[in-house]
């Protein structure tokens, strides 16, 4: 039974349903107008020409029947598909699909097909603007493509072009009140792009470009859902797009809540004592009920999804800065940092020595390097802590040739290499 086996991430199905939806909408408006015009012409003929009365009355009868049929067809089709339930795949897809989603999916599928045809190097093409500014466009998935700057709802360069378009279109799909009625798995698969590509996929990344895509998958879903920040009971809590509400006794004051696209709307705070799913399985976690995270939870989500945590000889988590420093390579030269390196942050203390983990005390934060921008000579840190919630972007930048003893403003931040990824892209 083909109709029972289809999936909503089929680009052909999405495009067909979106065209059908649009066609029914047009029919609903245009059909009655044409029928009314036909009736008006018939009435005019009857009034002017008595001998035409019988013939025109028959035409009027047919026009009225056609009007009724045309008016009710879209209503009937929409009602049937909307009420058949999510167990019937076509009905489930019908409820989720829109024209923009179909276009995004087709565009994303096309992009990945083209990637397979291109040798995965750092080759690039150039485009000259009228102002003479040269802009690089890297091929395929090897580097982050920022050619689409967005429509203003999401900060520039938060996501690559294809992912940015998807995220922009799905900021207000649901919140914690409506999410229980959502089929999360089908929803994610229907998004297209990297979300359809990576959901449920077991991975083992070996290249910088692959880690960048996995990062967009995790951060992209957290962004569309609108995660809050939570670092433990009686500790720090921050609203998505809002403020630190740690001292607000359960709810933020009215008028000081998170942004309107947050999962936990208004000033509601989701205090709890753990996640709804394991950090080692982000695909399961994102289908749960708890949409909060913090710096090390986020790193763990990404690195487990990427296959870089939890295996033989791999770390079991990112919150153990000192032990990671003893077991893996410490990068002391800022210019040697590469994509995939963890950045561990410690409070300043007497005798702190970046080369000696025994002197590292009071760990408080972790992020990782997701890009090296060679044109601006900057490290691009991927940060899932409160920086993400406050700024609604997870990327910070740090000049490599300035403040060489510090990273992201901290002289007691340490770069640790847990894996030597192929640096196929900066």
At 316-344, the pLDDT tens digits run 999 978 889 999 999 999 999 999 999 99
pLDDT band at 418 (very low <50, low <70, confident <90, very high): very high
208-225 vs 295-305: helix crossing angle, rounded to 10 = 130
93 pLDDT exceeds 70?
A: no
Residue 373 CA to residue 379 CA, distance in Å, equals 6
Domain ranges within the chain, ordered by starting residue: 2-96, 100-113+163-305, 321-417
Query: Within 10 A of 272 (CB to CB), how many other CB atoms are there?
Result: 13
pLDDT of residue 236: 83
Min mean pLDDT across 2-6, 74-78, 116-120 is at: 116-120
Residues 138-153: pLDDT tens digits?
323 347 899 999 999 9
Residue 389 CA to residue 258 CA, distance in Å, equals 9
Q: Tell me how far CA of residue 160 lies from CA of 99, 142, 306, 365, in angstroms.
A: 21, 12, 18, 26
185-201 average pLDDT score: 96
DSSP code string of 194-259: HHHHHTT------BHHHHHHHHHHHHHHHHHHTPEEE-STTS-EE-TTS-B-TTSTTBPPTT----
pLDDT of residue 87: 45
132 pLDDT exceeds 80?
A: no
Residues 31-45: pLDDT tens digits?
667 667 766 766 666
pLDDT of residue 5: 41
pLDDT of residue 126: 32
pLDDT of residue 134: 32
C-alpha triplet 107, 183, 317: angle, nearest 5°: 80
User: pTM for this one?
Assistant: 0.68
Half-sphere exposure of 304 (CA within 13 A, CB side): 19
pLDDT of residue 118: 33
Mean pLDDT of the chain: 79
pLDDT of residue 425: 78
* 51-55, 89-93, 179-183, 269-273 — most confident range: 179-183
């Amino acid at each position: 039974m083909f109709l029972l086996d289809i999936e909503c991430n089929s680009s052909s199905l999405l495009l067909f349903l979106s065209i059908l939806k649009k066609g029914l909408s047009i029919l609903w408006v245009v059909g009655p107008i044409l029928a009314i015009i036909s009736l008006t012409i018939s009435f005019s003929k009857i009034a002017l020409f008595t001998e035409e009365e019988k013939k025109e009355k028959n035409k009027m009868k047919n026009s009225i029947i056609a009007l009724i049929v045309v008016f009710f067809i879209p209503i009937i089709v929409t009602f049937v598909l909307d009420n058949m339930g999510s167990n019937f795949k076509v009905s489930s897809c019908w409820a989720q699909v829109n024209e923009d989603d179909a276009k995004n999916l087709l565009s994303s599928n096309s992009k990945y097909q083209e990637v397979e045809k291109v040798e995965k190097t750092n080759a690039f093409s150039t485009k000259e603007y009228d102002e003479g500014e040269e802009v690089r466009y890297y091929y395929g998935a090897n580097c982050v493509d920022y050619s689409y700057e967005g429509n203003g709802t999401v900060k520039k360069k938060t996501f690559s072009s294809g992912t940015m378009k998807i995220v922009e279109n799905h900021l207000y799909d649901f919140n914690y009140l409506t999410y229980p009625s959502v089929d999360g798995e089908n929803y994610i698969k229907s998004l297209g792009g990297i979300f359809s590509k990576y959901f449920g996929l077991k991975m083992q990344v070996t290249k910088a470009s692959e880690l960048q895509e996995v990062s967009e998958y995790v951060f992209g879903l957290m962004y569309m859902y609108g995660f809050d920040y939570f670092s433990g009971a009686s500790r720090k809590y921050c609203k998505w797009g809002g403020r630190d509400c740690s001292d607000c006794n359960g709810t933020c004051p009215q008028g000081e809540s998170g942004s309107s696209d947050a999962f936990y709307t208004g000033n509601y705070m989701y205090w709890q004592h753990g996640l709804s799913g394991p950090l080692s399985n982000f695909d399961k976690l994102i289908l749960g009920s708890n949409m909060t995270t913090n710096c090390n939870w986020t790193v763990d989500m990404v690195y487990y999804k990427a296959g870089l945590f939890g295996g033989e000889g791999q770390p079991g988590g990112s919150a153990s800065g000192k032990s990671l420093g003893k077991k893996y390579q410490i990068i002391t030269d800022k210019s040697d940092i590469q994509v995939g390196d963890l950045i561990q942050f410690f409070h300043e203390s007497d005798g702190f020595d970046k080369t000696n983990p025994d002197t590292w005390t009071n760990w408080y934060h972790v992020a990782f390097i997701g890009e090296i921008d060679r044109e601006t000579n900057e490290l691009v840190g991927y940060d899932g802590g409160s920086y993400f919630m406050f700024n609604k972007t997870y990327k910070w930048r740090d000049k490599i040739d300035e403040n060489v003893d510090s990273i992201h403003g901290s002289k007691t931040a340490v770069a640790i290499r847990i894996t030597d990824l192929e640096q196929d892209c900066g």
